[in-house]
Amino acid sequence: MPRILALLPSNTYRARDLLTAARRLGAELIVATERQQALEPQTDDTTITIRFDASPPTLRRVTELHTRRPLDAVVGLDDETTWCAATLAEHLGLPGNPPQAVAATRSKIATRRRLAAAGLRGPEFATVATADLDALADHAAKQVYPCVLKPTFLSASRGVIRANDAGEFVIAARRIAALLSDAELQARGGEQAGLILVESYLPGEEVAVEGLLREGSLEVLAVFDKPEPLVGPFFEETVYLTPSRQDAGVLDALEAEVQSASTALGLLNGPVHAELRICEGVPTLLELAPRPIGGLCPRVIPLAFGIQLEEFLLRAALGLKTPSANRARAAGVMMIPVPRGGTLRSINGLDQARAVEYIHGVDISILPGQPVVPLPEGNRYLGFIFAAAETPAAVQQALGRAHSQLRFAID
């Protein structure tokens, strides 16, 4: 029986879906978390506690586990765990990504520099220091507008702000600096928490590409259209739809661009999630991460293909053949946006939303009594709505109808 070590933050949504996929494959899943599970002493190594830093204690703990129960793969499926997983795989002599390649993807600055050095298309970019806010006016006066300011190490559009002139530039930079002054983000980002990336704004439709790398070769699993315009000032993602309605030539160009970017970054194995803008039929990479799509969004994949995304990921990690992903229907997910900050008091209309034709689930992420924070400071959605139908248009309409049934009381 193959054995997989999965690095999962204790607050992840993925444990159940990974366990289901592992059972389907006849594989044993060992879950590593950063906080000890209550029953860990009685679980016979099916759960372990490590820090996701690849420090000597972590390496020793996993090496001891590997000696007792040989591992066939190590996987990390989010920004917090991918580098540690790559380092552990290399340490144990297992397939994975080079740790230095994963490290480059954790910095938007390093990513931009590598892609530019490889001759790939991309926005003009520069950095400003959060500690040198007095120099912002000078930088703002020289900047070409519109532009986009963003932290160098956060994801899910957190801290990403468009500026249309010098005044907006200074306000955005100060807002990002305030966000990055948080002690937790300072510890997480290190030197990166002291920098803001400034990029020229790229117009066009935005899409996401979900794929798998095997020894450097890309296999595209799905291309998601984002039908709601993402033009700023903030870039809160809402709807993902697959199959993409882009024409075949654009789809080929998207695949080629993600392949080229993966190669330039030195990635070899495992999932990739890429965001691109398409302007006049030409795709330009915004970001690429060596992980799958985040949150509960992976649950849209079985609606479209009848196969869990986690099964694709575990098969790839074990070197097994990818199952034929024959599309069953169009599918989509809406990440329910946070309309304003405060405390969530109540949610109404869930039964009505779930009863909308083509809706396959409405999952709430934030419970009444908990705080809600909108972008650009926030990093959580209110929940996720899933739909599947014969066409992307029908999916999009169903998602919109379901969302219109929901009422969130926030004060």
Name the pTM for this structure: 0.93
Segments of the chain assigned to CATH 3.40.50.20: 3-97
* Both tokens assigned to 196: 């803001």
Q: Quick: pLDDT tens for 330-386.
A: 999 999 999 999 999 999 999 999 999 999 999 999 999 999 999 999 999 999 999
The answer to whether 272 and 288 are in contact (CB under 8 A) is yes
d(CA 115, CA 62): 34
Q: Quick: pLDDT tens for 85-114.
A: 999 999 999 999 999 999 999 999 999 999
Q: Encode burial over 169-189: b for 16+ CB neighbours within 10 A, e otherwise.
A: bbbbbeebbebbeeeebeeeb
Q: In what order do the strands lie in the sheet with 282-289?
A: 282-289, 270-279, 205-214, 217-225, 239-242, 330-336, 383-389, 359-364
- Please tell me the number of Cα atoms within 13 Å of 249 on its side-chain side: 3
d(CA 392, CA 166): 40
Question: Among the CATH numbers 2.30.30.100, 3.40.50.20, 3.40.50.720, 1.10.357.10, which is that of 3-97?
Answer: 3.40.50.20
The answer to whether 302 and 308 are in contact (CB under 8 A) is yes
Torsion, Cα 74 75 80 84, to 10 degrees, reads 20
* Both tokens assigned to 52: 């996701």
d(CA 118, CA 104): 14
Digits of tens for pLDDT over the chain (411 positions)?
A: 899 999 998 766 788 899 999 999 999 999 999 876 654 454 566 889 999 998 999 999 999 999 999 999 999 999 999 999 999 999 999 999 999 999 999 999 999 999 999 999 999 999 999 887 778 888 999 999 999 999 999 998 999 999 999 999 999 999 999 999 999 999 899 999 999 999 999 999 999 999 999 999 999 999 999 999 999 999 998 999 999 999 999 999 999 999 999 999 999 999 999 999 999 899 999 999 999 998 899 999 999 999 999 999 999 999 998 776 666 799 999 999 999 999 999 999 999 999 999 999 999 999 999 999 999 999 999 999 999 999 999 999 999 999 999 999 999
Segments of the chain assigned to CATH 3.30.470.20: 204-289, 329-411
- The CATH homologous superfamily of the domain defined by 204-289: ATP-grasp fold, B domain (3.30.470.20)
Q: What top-level class would CATH report for the domain 329-411? A: alpha beta
- The CATH homologous superfamily of the domain defined by 123-200: ATP-grasp fold, A domain (3.30.1490.20)
pLDDT for residue 128: 93
